[in-house]
Structure 1
Amino acid sequence: MNNLSTIVSFITDKTKRNAAKYGDRLPAHTKDGVYEFSENGFWTGGFWTGLNWLSYELTGDESFIRTARDSYPRLLKRLYDTPETLDHDIGFLYSLSFVADYKITGNPEALKVALDAADRLAERFNEKGQFIQAWNVWKQGDPFSEENRGRIIIDCMYNLPLLFWASEITGNQTYRQIAESHANTCMSTIIRSDFTAYHTFVFDPVTGEPKFGQTHQGYADESVWSRGQTWAIGGYTHAYRYTGNDAYLNVARNCAKVFLDKVEPDLIPLWDFSVPDPKTAKRDSSAAAIAAASLLELTKFVEGSERSAYETYANQVVQNLFEMYSTNHDETHEGLLIHGCGHHPAGKNIDCSLIYGDYYFVEAVARLLGKTKVYW
């Protein structure tokens, strides 16, 4: 097995080389081994900054702080000048940038931005339905887009820590109440009775009445999209960490059991566990990385053989990702992990590096080494 120090060197050396090329730009996914960028950060911009904050924690090299902050003007412009472009992924964008900055450096300017971001996320709360609206209406009159007025997605469970954190910092319980309400709503709708997860669930935006589940980025509405399953594991684990609500821990543990029961022998999941021909299906290295980071958080709250199972998975999957799904033998490839699967049904970002896959791989490594300040 590779020593974690070898993996850290791979991560930080490549990240430093990439930083010298990227300037203030925010990488999203690779094409032919080269990262393409999102102008305003899309939903993924925070992962590049978070990766650099983690690299600083892993090395103490302050150049990573400068790199993390280089992209701030883009995120600030988005928050203050074009807030209409923001959706529920405000948590992903600002937790791993400005919240991380405040946690690590005590930067008061970062604190202000992070709390302003939490306000924008809280404003998306639908009181009738007790949920945070996920996506905006992308195209007026388009039926799917119009349903976004009442849509939640499982990914939002990983955005809630921004609200929980804001409540702890300010003492304002409204943030926490909104986060708990959304988690409760997800628990009764988007989480199925067998502890698999829909990708999305639609409500009537006016009455708040639950309508139906959809799996937009998975194989089919009733299928088990592997990355969605990992968002559920980590999202409910973090919700438990902030609240102590045993119902959230129960969801996290059962969603973890589903994932571990279904994952492939090399521990890297198919992009969707329900595909009809697993032998030819694409893998999703990003889902493996998110699972590793999420299960390492979950180990804090369980004991015995259950904890050992999570630790074993996380340790082994980090090794497998490095040995079989990384670019550790290719200095020209800008990504850390290959074979990520972004949006299979749309044919977008398939079999490439994904910045969130890279981030969670680094988070899992950092967790194994006890470096913990950045996390949600």
Structure 2
Amino acid sequence: MVSKESVIIEVIEHGKYFYYLYNYCENYLTLLAIANLNYSSIKAIKSENKHIKKILKNKVNKRDLRFRNYTLKNEYYFLHESKWYLNDTLLADTLFIDKCFLLKNGFVMSINNFHMPSRVLYHSYNDIETFSSIEDNKIKFKHSYLLDNKLPTYFYHDNKNENTIIFIHGGPKSSYLPYYNIIIKYFLNLGFNIYLPNYPGSLGYGIEYEKMLDKKGGNIEIRYLKNLIKMLDGNIYLYGESYGGYLALLLSLQPDLDIYKTFVVNGFTDINYQFIFSKARKLMDLFFSIENNKKFNPINLIDFREINCEVVFIHAKKDYICNINQIRMFIDKYKKNYGVLLKLYCLEKISHQLEEYDQQLLVLNSIEKEVN
């Protein structure tokens, strides 16, 4: 099935691995299998061919182990700085290349970016100058260090746009990479400027930058994000998932910020609640110290501080990382203190990680009701 004219391509999208057989002589593509990714482990591989399934399962497990070993050895760092060259020709600097195979007469690669789904391409070495045409020239994200070279950020900015949305990732030991994202694409289509900061604690910028957040959660990264908001004009929207949802809510409680609307997706509102009930309590202990919790705990801050914008909660009904009960308690307390009922979309068919495309679509449906 796999000949000398063929190569197996691995494409990563929406929390899944897609494996294709690409014949570059006859120029056809065949889907071999789909592997589901969950917590860096493979749950299942779907394929009708048992022999192919066995080969690919072994391949996927080795790939997963290799990735985790790379991370431990710090070979994952500085991934954001990489540009793709071939024979001194720049192939891509705004695309994410999942895989690239150099062949005798050309190369095959799977590519995507924030607003473009994955594509598998074959390109001849003789026609290398036309490679840049695969990108959308109208929308190009940049990766730069903002705020006096301190905050690494992916962004797209057009001075004509009146609205800007800042996406805040979870983790916080994570980072934004230019993977396709339907929510980012949605706001792009509405004419928003897009900012995706990789705040202190994010992966990909060295161990020192990653460890800046240890025992300083809700403090140091908030200072960076506040300065980013203050440098932007127009209507500012925030979108945060998980730990990023906590940060988005915390920013919405800063009296010196002018924010238009905030989306808190599967976030948390009570640090102490997380310590007691969350499966991520060990992670909480890494970033927060008990004695400083009240200073950066939203449920405590609303005793003497109002939210500075409209906040919309979107949450999984069954979330074992950030339980929805703390969201309900926060909403009840805020209504009691200020007479304002905050919105909550309780979604039954999503999980905390939002790995599946269908789950992301459900979140987007809730967002559409609040933006349009």
Name which structure has the greater RCO, CA cutoff 8 Å, separation 6+: 1
TM-score bracket, normalised by the shorter chain, equals 0.3 to 0.5
Structure number with larger C-alpha Rg: 2
For normalisation by structure 1, the TM-score amounts to 0.33
More strand by share: 2
TM-score for the superposition, normalised by structure 2: 0.33
Question: Higher helix share goes to which structure?
Answer: 1
